[in-house]
Amino acid sequence: MAAARRRLSVGLGLAGAACALLGVCLLLVGPVIIKEQVVKNVRIDPTSISFSMWKDIPVPFYMSVYLFEVLNPKEALQGAKPVLNQRGPYVYREYRYKTNITFHDNDTVSFLEYRQLFFQPDMSNGSEEEYVVVPNILMMGAAVMMENLPNFVKLLLSGALAGLKQEAFMNRTVGEILWGYDDPLIDTINTLVPGLLPFKGKFGLFMEFNNSNSGLFTVYTGMKNISRVHMVDSWNGLKKVNYWRSNECNMINGTAGEMWPPFMSPTSLEFYSPDACRSLTLVYEQSGKFEGVPTYRFVAPKTLFANGTDYPPNEGFCPCMQSGIQNVSTCRLNDRHPHELLHQAPAEPVHKACVWYNSGSIEGSVLKQFYTNLVLIPSLLDYVQYIFLGLSVPLIISAAVLMARSQGTAAEKSPRHPTTQSKPPPSSETTPLLHDAGTLSQDDAEA
């Protein structure tokens, strides 16, 4: 019985030591393993998990468009304040995919990213066949473009506008306004002043958006330095643009706006936007969770589209309008298209014919994969390491108790030895210690 207890205590002790060792190893090595897996799978590498997601972005993006219908066009022409009615949203699903992917020796990769937009009737408040009265942007744009032309050209264009019966307001369908309509004014202007308009044929607010690419991006792959992954090296071969009036405003900073390097502190996000023709910076607002996945929320600061008076660093983006609005016609259409404005609420009073914004979130299998890789597996590793450490304590204690009991039982069953013995009579100084054989025999005979 004692031997069995000793064997059991040794087994429990070894199990406890093994659990403690595994727990300590997971505590020390677990974060390193997770970090290595993150580094391995977020860099731009055909063998990484995220490469297919980076190549064909599975996150659904939606573009929501609102049109502002003018309810009193005749009165507005006579000087009355326009009465506007918001129409929409007209929602479009945006698909993004990359082509011409080329890896370079300097740890970079180049690509073209295309986008396709598809109308979503079930998410929209209205159809593309609805008619809406809006300002005639093309005619007003032509009027603005004529300001710097010679007088005789102005007369020709003015006569053309009158002959074509162009009016300040037009009644067209949503689809025509957004995706293009034929207008004889386009051919007339291109004939009289070739090159004045940067397009031919149809005119629409978003004609250039659909089936178009955002330019040739060259970004870092992160194979050599993970802190540089997705950071832009150049755009269309440029290290900086030349649209604005200061070097700071012309700088191409951050990423392409889709992904950022891992292990960043939540302070700000910077990216270059070809639509805005400039680098944009978002600032951290708060932490949260989306479907169990930890998230950081970043928002546009009030200074993003502030004018140079309210925010001096933005003076390079001037000539400025009021804060909240930025004119990007200098880059989008060679400084010849007055409707190209970016706005940030609040920016009143400004009469806008169209407002749109993009939104998107992870869902479906992509969300499940993110949750598994970023939340579930790290959480399980945390739990397992503490379970091992927790099990090691009772196992080691149990082994020590059993060992102590087995030793006590063995002590109780061992034979007892006498504590006192009969002492021989003390020998005197006169008593011989040795007797010869003869003397011993004589004594025995007398006895």
pLDDT tens-digit readout, 26-48: 888 878 887 887 888 889 999 88
pLDDT score of 443: 47
Residue 221 has pLDDT above 80, yes or no: yes
The model scores a pTM over 0.85: no
Q: Hey, CA dihedral for 260, 93, 208, 58, is it positive or negative? A: positive
What is the C-alpha to C-alpha distance for residues 370 and 293, in angstroms, rounded to an integer?
A: 7
Which residue in 142, 220, 154 sits closest to 183, CA to CA? 142
pLDDT score of 360: 66
pLDDT score of 85: 94
The pLDDT-based confidence of 255 (bands split at 50, 70, 90) is very high
pLDDT score of 426: 54
Helix H, strand E, coil C: the string for 358-413 is EEECCCHHHHHHHHHHHHHHHHHHHHHHHHHHHHHHHHHHHHHHHHHHHHHHHHHH
Sequence-separated (6 or more) residues with CB below 8 Å from residue 334: 198
Helix H, strand E, coil C: the string for 160-179 is HHHHCCCCCEEEEEHHHHHH
**How far, CA to CA in Å, does 212 sit from each of 99, 155, 199, 216, 245?**
12, 36, 15, 12, 28
Do 93 and 115 form a contact (C-beta atoms < 8 A)? no
Q: How far is CA 133 from the centre of its chain?
A: 40
pLDDT tens-digit readout, 349-403: 444 566 766 766 666 776 777 677 777 877 887 888 888 888 888 888 887 887 7
Do 173 and 77 form a contact (C-beta atoms < 8 A)? no
The pLDDT-based confidence of 120 (bands split at 50, 70, 90) is very high
Residue 219 has pLDDT above 90, yes or no: yes
Q: Which of 161-170, 189-198, 235-244, 282-291 has the highest mean pLDDT?
A: 235-244
Least confident stretch, 405-414, 420-429, 431-440: 431-440
The full set of domain ranges for the chain reads: 43-361
pLDDT tens-digit readout, 266-287: 899 999 999 889 999 999 999 9
pLDDT score of 446: 45
Which residue in 281, 112, 136 sits closest to 211, CA to CA? 112
Residue 339 has pLDDT above 50, yes or no: no
The pLDDT-based confidence of 159 (bands split at 50, 70, 90) is confident
Least confident stretch, 85-94, 261-270, 402-411, 420-429: 420-429
Sequence-separated (6 or more) residues with CB below 8 Å from residue 318: 245, 307, 308
What is the C-alpha to C-alpha distance for residues 67 and 79, in angstroms, rounded to an integer?
A: 22
Average pLDDT over residues 161-190: 86
